[in-house]
Amino acid sequence: MSLANRVRYPDFLQRVMTAEQAAALIPASANVGMSGFTGAGYPKAVPLALAARIENEHAQGHPFRISVWTGASTAPELDGALAKVNGIEMRLPFQSDPICRNKINSGEMQFSDMHLSHVAQHAWFGFLGHLDVAVVEVAGVLPDGRLIPSTAVGNNKTWLDLADKVILEVNTQVPEKMDGMHDIYYGTAVPPHRKPIPMTHPHERIGEPYLHVDPAKVVAVVHTQQGDRDTRFAAPDAVSEKIASYIIDFLQFEVKQGRLPTNLLPLQSGVGNVANAVLAGLLHSPFEQLTGYTEVLQDGMLDLLRAGKMVSASATAISLSKTALADFTQNIDFYRERILLRPQEISNHPELVRRLGIIAMNAMIEADIYGNVNSTHIMASGMMNGIGGSGDFARNAYLSFFVTPSVAKDGAISCIVPMASHVDHTEHDVQIIVTEQGLADLRGLSPTQRAQRIIDNCAHPDYRPALHDYVARAKKGASGQHTPHLLDEALSWHSRYVQTGSMKAAA
């Protein structure tokens, strides 16, 4: 498709240039807000051209790095390319790129791990510094200059509003019929001028389908024709299916107890294998008329919509496998009536999560016996990806699940430990922990009651006796008995793994 068919604002056609020319407009040390959320809607051409420019500048002995702000993770063409040439000074708020991760953990790149609902407001408050440039992928431009969003909205509204200069990547491979699938809310404000967000149902429109930009700030328009990162999902394995079965059984029990309606409450599901297993389980469950209110729309929710089990889904991005994307494109008229994509400050907003009564399901790295959850760090010090939106949902959800296999590294690591090596979600935000061993409902329990339930229901049998032994000795030797710990042993499992490669004590 020609660019003129998508860019119908005449002045912008005068600013069309190559990605290399656009990248030349980004200065060293700039704060750059880029579109993109979980491998969807990210710029494809300008970051690659910028990486080549940075590599050339470094070869000539010139320092050149930028700070990169996004919605969440992106793809190799953005995070990977810029990290490979050591072009990122500061990265926020979330990433999942292996090169980025290595740079962060080696100390070569600074990383600010943030709740995703906080990013836009912290930018507006001025907490993050000045935003120099925005590089935003869009599907098209209307005759009046408004922008048709792409497959992710993320923080694009804020980047377009705050940046001094704007570079638009117009991706003509994005289905043109996505026009109308977005709901961009322009009613946010900074304190003391805030007003309640007028939403009481997950599919309620509160904004408009388009993004605004000051035309005078648009310095470049770059034509791209490339799909998003191919989000490949492994088929659910026996562990993830077992976890999913516990969750679905629990939801059925809650309905019987009168604590949930028969169509449940809006569902939020994190990204990954377990999340898709839960959604697959719901496809064959007795639940009907489901709704989704989440961050990323994945294959599983598309399946639920297509089967008629789910009536609507709200998210900030749509990130699909190649097969699911083909279905989405072919049946886009059907999906456009059932899907809304919003800014992440709305999709993740605590006010809305609490009002709508979200059922939140998120993955974790480890949990301790008292219910504190680590979702970001490996062995206390190494960053994995970031907290993402899990905290936005966990603290405010009607039901908050955290899920993980009970062991990792072929059993060398227990994911249930005496003390979490890093805490992202305190025991106060964690209601239900699920592994393939079972489900621990922690609502209304004291710390020692939680410990008993987590160990009995969720810990792997190889580690269960040692955990019970730790609790028994802590009850005798700890200085306090509300949350008894042996401070000289609490992190010994992690130390043992670092030293020996296994958390298991020597026989």
Instruction: Please say whether the dihedral angle defined by the alpha carbons of residues 178, 179, 180 and 185, taken in this order, is positive or negative.
Output: positive
CA distance 237 to 164: 48
Quick one: which of 310, 318, 293, 317 has its CA closest to 393?
293
Pair 26, 52: CB distance under 8 Å: no
Give long-range contacts, CB 8 A cutoff, 24+ apart: 335-338: 335/181, 335/302, 335/305, 336/177, 336/178, 336/180, 336/181, 338/203, 338/305, 338/310, 338/311, 338/312, 338/313
Strand partners, 80: none
Token representation of residue 17: 């240039």
Going by the DSSP 8-state scheme, the letter that residue 505 receives in this structure is P
The question of whether 288 is a catalytic residue gets the answer no
Beta strands in 151-217 (DSSP E): 165-171
Name which of 83, 75, 144 is nearest 111 in CA terms: 83
Bond from prior residue into 465 cis (ω within 30 degrees of 0): no
What's the rounded Cα separation, in Å, for the pair 222 and 44? 10
CA distance 206 to 188: 11
Candidate list 137, 169, 254, 295, residue with the active-site label:
295
Active-site positions?
295
